[in-house]
Amino acid sequence: MKANNIILQTITKVVVFIIITFSIYLFFAGHYYPGGGFIGGLMTASALVLLLLAYDMETVKRVIPADFKIVTAVGLLIAVITGVGPMLSGLPFLTHAHDYVELPLLGKSGLTTAMLFDLGVYLVVIGITMTIIQTIGESD
Amino acid sequence: MNIIEISKIVLGFIILLGTALSLVTSIGLIRLPDVYTRSHAASKSATLGVLLILFAAFLLFGINTGHLNARLFLAIVFLFLTAPVAGHLLSRAAYHSNVPLWEKSVEDDLKKRVLEKKQTEQA
């Protein structure tokens, strides 16, 4: 008997956006409030896992056509580049720069290269979690 | 009495109401006879209890410190959306794995529908 999942699927469509929004908030709030790349990445991955629960794996792969192993690699690459960058100007490895910049729309905001490192962590966490879950889900 | 004192009394009452609802939930989980009535108790009163506590916390921070916490508001919306669906899925999973109803139940409308559907699929 084919399962009728309409309640779960409809609620998933609404709730996934709330979870992803909250995970992005956690990611950007990490410098001044609790949060950061790790928990933000885990929450984004949990939104994708909720999609996997409500729909089948082929649908999710069609909606998000990302190879998560490559996402992991890109995250590591970003983290390493933010570490190596200051070495080019003679500073030690992983020296971070911090400055206040006038951005259009956002106004005066503090920007730091630690956020780029966090972006690397974020991508690695999403990539590894989704790779683990998809590998376990695919093996029969 | 200024507004902060009054709000503390009112919000304390709301928080107590929320905890009382959570207590009612746990009593219901112990006292009720089968999975479906228990999930009825768990999904309804627990949701409202948690929502009341979160709402009171939201207002308390808003009035006392002037800090409107959007995360609490988001949590209220999120729990209101998801807790009933979780209850629905649990009861449905229980029904489809043949967990029996309470022996004093008189009617099972879903059984007819499930049997009809099975027959049309076989035919």
What is the number of residues in chain A?
140
Q: What is the pLDDT of residue B67?
A: 86
Find residues 42-81 of chain B whose CB sits inside 8 Å of chain A: 71, 74, 77-78, 81
CB-CB under 8 Å, B85 with A11: yes
pLDDT tens digits, one per residue of A47-84: 999 999 998 888 888 988 989 999 999 999 999 999 89
Q: Is the separation of the CB atoms in B51 and B79 below 8 Å?
A: yes
Q: Is the separation of the CB atoms in A4 and B95 below 8 Å?
A: no
Strands of A1-140, DSSP E: 98-103, 107-112
Q: Which residues of B touch A8 (CB under 8 A)?
A: 85, 89
Say how many CA atoms lie within 13 Å of B89 toward its Cβ. 14
Q: Is the pLDDT of residue B1 over 60?
A: yes
Q: What is the pLDDT of residue A1?
A: 46
Cα distance between residue A22 and residue B74, in whole Å: 9
Q: Is the separation of the CB atoms in A49 and A12 below 8 Å?
A: no
CB-CB under 8 Å, B71 with A14: no
| Residue indicated by tokens 């409107």 | B68
Q: Is the separation of the CB atoms in B60 and B54 below 8 Å?
A: no
- ipTM surpassing 0.85, yes or no? no
Q: What is the pLDDT of residue B98?
A: 87
pLDDT tens digits, one per residue of B17-39: 999 999 999 999 999 999 999 99
Question: Which is higher by pLDDT, B85 or A139?
Answer: B85
Query: Is A8's Cβ below 8 Å from some Cβ in B?
Result: yes
Question: Which is higher by pLDDT, A138 or A91?
Answer: A91
Tell whether pTM > 0.80.
yes
Q: Indicate the average pLDDT of chain B.
A: 90
User: Three-class SS of residue B3?
Assistant: helix
Q: What is the pLDDT of residue A126?
A: 95
**In the predicted model, what is the mean pLDDT of residues A96-107?**
79
CB-CB under 8 Å, B77 with A18: yes
Cα distance between residue B65 and residue B59, in whole Å: 10
